[in-house]
């Protein structure tokens, strides 16, 4: 058999990867293409997605290509040493003794292949194949190591571009999976708000996750809700009005300052494909709370109120929330009332219903 080997971090796999994989299969008439996600790439920092998540994203992206197979040889290694190509190829040669192996790489890597560990030995064990990549040209290294060259359409996509906020270079099913698993959210949420609010958002998300884990609640859901709770907070006022009128008309008479709890749920669904009802409810309840708060709702509500970046000492309340989120939530309702009265700030009428349900006491108590 003719077997291709295509390695990388795949954090995440993008359309450039899938295009090259498909073109290589056709150009080289491959019987199989092994996709080899690295455990530790010597050229890159640690991945955002964990090993299993990267495998699942690869499987999603290539689900319609029967010739593709994820090879977990590298990430299954038990040690924490860096993976090098020569080690992987030696292992694959043991498995595919009588098959022709083609090792794929982009021109960016091919142009510096002479710097790879055991470059000459690699070139003797497999047929090296380079595909075009924007900004790189053929050089002597390609001849020295007997590269084959695939005349593919030039590709400029990269995982770095995706992490910079360009989701169009990744299959929709892949980034839907990513967002729904809390991956890369910080990279995309930053584009919805000012730097100050982004720092607050990240702080809230991490604190909400801490509250959740301490209380036996799903930390991933708390993190996602925390990351998305304010994505509509700085929305253009005209857009706010239009969306509120269209989707949340019964709340248009509420103070504009709390519009974002509904609009953030809208954007969480529309832009981040969040379908989990518990996450959406936690976003929707994070400002005014409600009379049917879940424990997850309480985690996000309290994290928002107790964010250390707000500039006051909330350490005691944070400890209480980790010990007992229900008691912590009750405490924040009381603190909110006292603070609002002290600052002479208006309080939405729904607050008093919430207070009665959870605190069951005199507001002056």
Checking if the pLDDT of 44 tops 70, the result is no
The region of weakest confidence among 9-18, 148-157, 355-364 is 148-157
Q: pLDDT of 71-99, one tens digit each?
A: 999 999 887 777 789 999 999 999 999 99
Q: What percent of the chain has pLDDT over 90?
A: 75
- CA 253 to chain centroid, in Å, comes to 35
Q: Was domain 2-176 assigned CATH 3.40.50.620?
A: yes
| 8 Å CB contact between 280 and 268 | yes
In degrees to the nearest 10, what's the CA dihedral of 251, 255, 258, 263?
40
The region of weakest confidence among 149-163, 193-207, 330-344 is 149-163
Token pair in block for residue 85: 């190509």
Please tell me the distance from the alpha carbon of residue 227 to that of residue 293, in angstroms, as a whole number: 19
| 8 Å CB contact between 128 and 148 | yes
The region of weakest confidence among 69-78, 215-224, 263-272 is 69-78
Angle at 40 between CA 37 and CA 46, to 5 degrees: 100
Q: pLDDT of 335-365, one tens digit each?
A: 988 888 888 887 878 888 999 999 986 665 5
Domain locations in the chain as residue ranges: 2-176, 184-358
- CA 183 to chain centroid, in Å, comes to 1
What pLDDT was estimated at residue 42?
47
Q: What is the domain class of 184-358 according to CATH?
A: mainly alpha
The SS3 of residue 32 is: strand
| pTM, rounded to two decimals | 0.90
| DSSP-H helix ranges across 171-249 | 172-180, 185-189, 195-214, 219-228, 237-247
Question: How far apart, in Å, do the first and last CA atoms of the chain sit?
Answer: 79
């Amino acid at each position: 058999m003719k077997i291709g080997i295509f390695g990388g971090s795949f954090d995440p796999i993008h359309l450039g990867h899938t295009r090259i994989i498909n073109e290589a299969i056709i150009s080289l008439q491959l019987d199989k293409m092994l996709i080899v996600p690295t455990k530790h790439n010597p050229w890159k920092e640690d991945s955002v997605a964990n090993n299993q998540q990267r495998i699942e994203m690869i499987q999603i992206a290539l689900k319609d290509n029967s010739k593709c197979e994820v090879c977990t040889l590298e990430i299954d290694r038990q040690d924490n040493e860096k993976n090098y190509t020569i080690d992987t190829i030696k292992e694959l040669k043991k498995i595919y003794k009588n098959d022709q192996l083609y090792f794929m790489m982009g021109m960016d890597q091919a142009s510096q292949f002479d710097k790879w560990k055991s470059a000459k030995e690699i070139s003797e064990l497999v047929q090296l194949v380079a595909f075009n990549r924007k900004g790189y040209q053929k050089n002597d290294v390609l001849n020295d190591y007997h590269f084959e060259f695939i005349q593919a359409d030039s590709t400029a996509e990269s995982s770095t571009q995706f992490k910079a906020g360009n989701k169009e270079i990744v299959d929709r099913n892949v980034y839907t999976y990513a967002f729904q698993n809390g991956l890369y959210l910080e990279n995309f949420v930053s584009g919805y708000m000012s730097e100050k609010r982004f720092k607050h958002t990240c702080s809230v998300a991490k604190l909400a996750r801490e509250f959740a884990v301490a209380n036996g609640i799903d930390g991933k859901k708390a993190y996602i809700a925390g990351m998305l709770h304010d994505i509509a907070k700085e929305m253009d006022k005209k857009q706010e009005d239009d969306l509120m009128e269209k989707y949340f008309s019964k709340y248009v008479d509420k103070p504009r300052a709390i519009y974002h709890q509904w609009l953030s749920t809208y954007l969480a669904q529309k832009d981040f494909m969040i379908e989990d009802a518990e996450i959406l409810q936690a976003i929707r309840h994070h400002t005014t709370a409600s009379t049917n708060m879940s424990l997850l709702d309480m985690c996000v509500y309290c994290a928002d109120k107790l964010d250390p970046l707000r500039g006051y000492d909330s350490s005691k309340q944070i400890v209480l929330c980790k010990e007992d989120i229900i008691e912590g939530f009750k405490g924040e309702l009381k603190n909110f009332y006292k603070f609002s009265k002290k600052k002479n700030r208006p309080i939405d009428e729904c607050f008093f219903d919430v207070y009665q349900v959870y605190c069951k006491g005199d507001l002056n108590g």
